């Protein structure tokens, strides 16, 4: 199986990195695209750089519209954008395809593949909610980065992992 992962500049880049690492550890071929702010926020929040990501994924520049994930003929099991900024969410809802991340997501939807969007913003405006609704109507799964507490987590990574496990479930990937 092959999954594309996009990481934007919203807070919570640990979700994207943890997803990439988890997928790779499970034998999934991962193709990743980070926005410029996604890279900067990951460095700031996690102390990680792109060399850390490249251990687990093929990484493309967000400006490279010739990358394989920009084409529907590059078969994937789908794409996850975690975290997804409202800036990127708006571009996705408008099907802008202005950069590799938004183009790959648009291709995912047009090919009828699973697109999971993990927005990380609060509070939400009516515009944010309408953009999420528009994506959901187009077939995307909207999965807010809302930690769950029913398993009584004691560590931050338990909160992150619980969300990542839910994303893996959408793709029928067993841990």
Query: Can you state the angle between helices 13-25 and 156-170, rounded to 10 degrees?
Result: 60
1-13 pLDDT tens trace: 999 999 999 999 9
Entry pTM: 0.97
Percent of the chain with pLDDT over 70: 100
Q: What residue spans define the domains of the chain?
A: 2-170
Query: Can you state the angle between helices 100-110 and 86-93, rounded to 10 degrees?
Result: 50
Distances 58 to 30, 96, 145 between C-alpha atoms, Å:
6, 24, 24
Dihedral (CA of 24, 56, 2, 43) sign: positive
In the CATH scheme, what is the code of domain 2-170?
Answer: 3.40.50.1950
Sheet holding 141-142, edge to edge: 58-60, 29-34, 2-7, 78-84, 114-119, 141-142
Which residues touch 75 (CB under 8 Å, ≥6 apart)? Answer: 2
pLDDT of res. 151: 86
31-78 pLDDT tens trace: 999 999 999 999 999 999 999 999 999 999 999 999 999 999 999 999
């Amino acid at each position: 199986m092959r999954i594309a992962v996009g990481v934007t500049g919203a807070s919570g880049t640990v979700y994207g990195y943890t997803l990439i690492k988890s997928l790779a550890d499970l034998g999934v071929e991962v193709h990743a695209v980070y926005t410029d702010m996604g890279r900067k926020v990951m460095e700031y929040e996690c102390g990680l750089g792109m060399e850390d990501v490249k251990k687990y994924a093929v990484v493309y520049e967000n400006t490279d519209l010739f990358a394989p994930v920009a084409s529907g003929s590059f078969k994937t099991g789908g794409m996850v954008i975690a975290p997804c900024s409202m800036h990127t969410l708006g571009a996705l809802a408008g099907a802008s395809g202005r950069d590799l991340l938004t183009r790959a997501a648009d291709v995912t939807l047009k090919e009828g593949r699973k697109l999971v969007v993990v927005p990380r913003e609060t509070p939400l405006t009516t515009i944010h909610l309408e953009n999420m609704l528009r994506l959901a109507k187009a077939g995307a799964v909207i999965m807010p980065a809302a930690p769950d507490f029913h398993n009584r987590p004691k560590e931050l990574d338990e909160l992150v992992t619980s969300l990542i496990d839910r994303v893996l479930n959408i793709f029928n990937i067993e841990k």
